[in-house]
Amino acid sequence: MSLNINHLLGASAIALMTMGTTASAQDCPRGDLDERYCDVDGDLIADIPTDAADQIDPDTLIFAYTPVEDPAVYKTAWADFLEHLEAETGKDVMFFPVQNNAAQIEAMRSGRLHIAGFNTGSNPLAVNCAGFRPFTIMAAPDGSFGYEMEIITYPDSGIEKVEDLKGKQLAFTAPTSNSGFKAPSAILKADYGLEPETDFEPVFSGKHDNSVLGVANKDYQAAAVANSVMGRMIERDVVSADQIKSIYKSQTFPTTGYGVVYNLKPELQEKIKNAFFNFEWEGSSLKEEFEKNGEGQFLEMNYQEFWDVIRKIDAANNVSYACQ
């Protein structure tokens, strides 16, 4: 299945080409990056503009967290970190609740979003179409990180193994989600010969929490979800573990990638990075929420290495990073 970013962002993305300067192909290697970006150093992410006139230094920094579960929960969870970010940068910081992955990518592409956590599957699209420069992920205190995609159903659904999905309904989350769409699509086709429409009925719930709740309430026969989201929902008693049965668990994938838009001034980008890495988790609202997944630090990472498996999944699904 071929996905085009225009389909995900809507026609309005075409009008967003005014920000930034397009360099000639001769002095601007870019790989899969949109034509407004350059990648001279070959790290697969957009370079910071060399001309200071193309760099921005906003008075207020806008932060958005990937749209999973209730945005109000995460505005509270991120409150202590954003206060720390204000102190480290000397800027006002605003939490921007986004309702879907496409809206988050569009906000950064149009210059309305400066710092973000993009979900696993959206990272390549954000990198290539919005100038996203990810540099960290959350990890456990021992340095371990990541989550798995699980295909879940409810007890007594009649679905005991993956092969039983044939002729049934399977809920995905959104086309940009790794665990909610891209990974299960590739795995079901490659390992089980199951394709949507032909072998099972695909539906889209919009978000992981919708899928988990839908299975728990028997609205969906089965769903593909990120088990990190499901785990937090069980911890908060949004659903109970006995309402859900897992029939498949994938390899471990990198979790949400955090970073900045490419054209922030270099010194501001460094201050933001430092804020992530010197944040004190102990006693914070961030730890209170994310320790439910065992997470307790920001781990430095690079997109080229950590997202290699995700780009391979995209290739298997014929996903295009074309922005128009």
What is the reported pLDDT for 25? 54
For strands 169-172 and 201-204, give the pairing. Answer: parallel
| Average pLDDT rounded to a whole number, residues 96-123 | 93
| Average pLDDT rounded to a whole number, residues 49-77 | 90
- Beta strands in 52-208, from DSSP E residues, in sequence order: 60-65, 92-95, 115-118, 132-139, 147-153, 169-172, 201-204
Q: Please say if the pLDDT value at position 52 is more than 60.
A: yes
What is the reported pLDDT for 26? 57
Q: Domains of the chain: which residue ranges?
A: 5-143+254-316, 147-253
User: How many C-beta neighbours within 10 Å does residue 188 have?
Assistant: 21
Go through the chain and tell me how many residues it has.
Answer: 324
What is the reported pLDDT for 77? 93
- Token output for 273: 């990075």
| Average pLDDT rounded to a whole number, residues 53-65 | 97
Which class does domain 5-143+254-316 fall in? Answer: alpha beta
Q: Please say if the pLDDT value at position 323 is more than 90.
A: no
Reported as a single tens digit per residue, the pLDDT across 141-188 is 999 998 999 999 999 999 999 999 999 999 999 998 999 999 999 999
| Average pLDDT rounded to a whole number, residues 204-226 | 96
Q: What are residue 127's phi and psi, to 5 degrees?
A: -65, -50
For strands 132-139 and 297-300, give the pairing. Answer: antiparallel
| Average pLDDT rounded to a whole number, residues 95-120 | 93
- Tell me, yes or no, if the two domains 5-143+254-316 and 147-253 fold the same way: yes
Instruction: Assess contact for 157 and 244: CB atoms under 8 A.
Output: no
User: Percentage of the chain with pLDDT > 90?
Assistant: 77
Domain topology for 147-253: D-Maltodextrin-Binding Protein; domain 2 (3.40.190)
Reported as a single tens digit per residue, the pLDDT across 12-30 is 333 333 344 444 555 899 9
CA distances for 44 relative to 24, 136, 185, 299, angstroms = 18, 15, 25, 19
CA–CA gap between residue 61 and residue 70 (Å, rounded): 22
What is the reported pLDDT for 16? 37
* Helix, strand, coil share of the chain (percent; to 5): 40, 20, 40
Instruction: Assess contact for 135 and 259: CB atoms under 8 A.
Output: yes
> What sign does the CA torsion over 78, 118, 253, 40 have?
negative
Highest average pLDDT, of 9-13, 43-47, 72-76, 185-189, comes from 43-47
Contacts of 276 (CB under 8 A, 6+ apart): 135, 136, 258, 298
Mean pLDDT rounded to a whole number for the chain:
90
CA–CA gap between residue 230 and residue 145 (Å, rounded): 16
Q: What are residue 260's phi and psi, to 5 degrees?
A: -130, 165
What is the reported pLDDT for 20? 41
What is the reported pLDDT for 11? 34
176: left (phi over 0), alpha (psi -120 to 50) or beta: alpha
Reported as a single tens digit per residue, the pLDDT across 228-285 is 999 989 999 999 999 999 999 998 899 999 999 999 999 999 999 999 999 999 999 9
Instruction: Assess contact for 310 and 121: CB atoms under 8 A.
Output: yes
CA–CA gap between residue 136 and residue 36 (Å, rounded): 24
- Token output for 261: 């838009």
167: left (phi over 0), alpha (psi -120 to 50) or beta: left
Q: Which residue has the higher pLDDT, 121 or 11?
A: 121
What is the reported pLDDT for 7? 38
Q: Which amino acid is at 287?
A: K
CA distances for 307 relative to 5, 159, 163, 312, angstroms = 19, 32, 29, 9
- Beta strands in the chain, from DSSP E residues, in sequence order: 60-65, 92-95, 115-118, 132-139, 147-153, 169-172, 201-204, 222-226, 245-253, 257-261, 297-300
What is the reported pLDDT for 92? 98
